[in-house]
Amino acid sequence: MEVNLRQAKIRLSRLLAQVAEGEEVIITKSGIPVAKLVPITGKRRKRALGSAKGEFMVPDGFNDPLPKEIEDLFYK
């Protein structure tokens, strides 16, 4: 499918829905193709809980209140 830039701006949501279904959309400006919308292929990897275990440590006192002189910087 080919659409001009003006129509692409107006119908972007609809065009993206069509692209998600597998259709390619060429966007033209003054009749010259300038962009191509294509669906992203490939599956997303699922993130596993705990996959970063042991890579960093939360320091003791992380949730302690800030020192007064630092806290005051937020309320000037």
Q: Is residue 68 part of a domain?
A: no
Is the per-residue pLDDT at 27 higher than 80?
A: yes
Tokens 């949501």, residue located: 13
Quote the number of domains for the chain: 1
**Structural domain of residue 7, as residue ranges?**
2-37
Q: Is residue 75 part of a domain?
A: no
Q: Is residue 18 part of a domain?
A: yes
Q: Is residue 50 part of a domain?
A: no
The model's pLDDT over 32-43, given as tens digits with 9 standing for 90+, comes to 999 999 998 777
- 25, 37 in Cβ contact below 8 A? yes
The model's pLDDT over 41-53, given as tens digits with 9 standing for 90+, comes to 777 778 888 888 8
Q: Is residue 30 part of a domain?
A: yes
